[in-house]
Structure 1
């Protein structure tokens, strides 16, 4: 079954759903594969090797990783410089009009909840008067 749509006075044929899914899955798999290939090549450059590829027996004792203080200071310096460059996080936006945040008073009786309940207002549907000028 073919689907058509009209956009700015022109008629277009919509792609079939199976073709859309196939293209998106294929694109996602390509990007995931490329990411793993890039990560593997970068790990090889810095000296990490896959243990499964080596024929050595895994050691049972746990080795502690030594902390390099130069790397630690470098990392602290990078984080401090990023913190100075970036502005502080903005405050959260205010709650919409008529919205009451949930309270810790979960012990309210059912009658009180019904008496206090207001009709729900959908913010997507109820956006106030239209912004277009009517001629």
Structure 2
């Protein structure tokens, strides 16, 4: 009688596709696939639209979002960006290799300074309490 459409979000780990979640809303499924694609442990993500027909008992699957395939362009035309770009999680790319030795040295000096300050403070507190105790015991 009726057709039911579901959207399966699949993730690629190694060489194996695994069903991650199933949605009834297309936009939610694509958003979930984008979020999965941003995960560093996931090699790819895709959304498959599955239309199940109650009348015939059959179903038809169509891939509507896939991060593992490249868009084919006509020869002579430069590649254009896809309309749907996945969002990435984590830190933005930084300039690696620039002044790393200097930055590392600065971090090491700061760490050594704080450790020395804590050590001096601890020793001062220890000997300070002992001196205060001796002073108070005189009375």
Question: Which TM-score band (shorter chain)?
Answer: under 0.3
- TM-score, length of structure 2 as denominator length: 0.23
Higher helix share: 1
Which structure has more relative contact order (CA 8 Å, sep 6+)? It is: 2
Higher strand share: 2
- TM-score, length of structure 1 as denominator length: 0.23
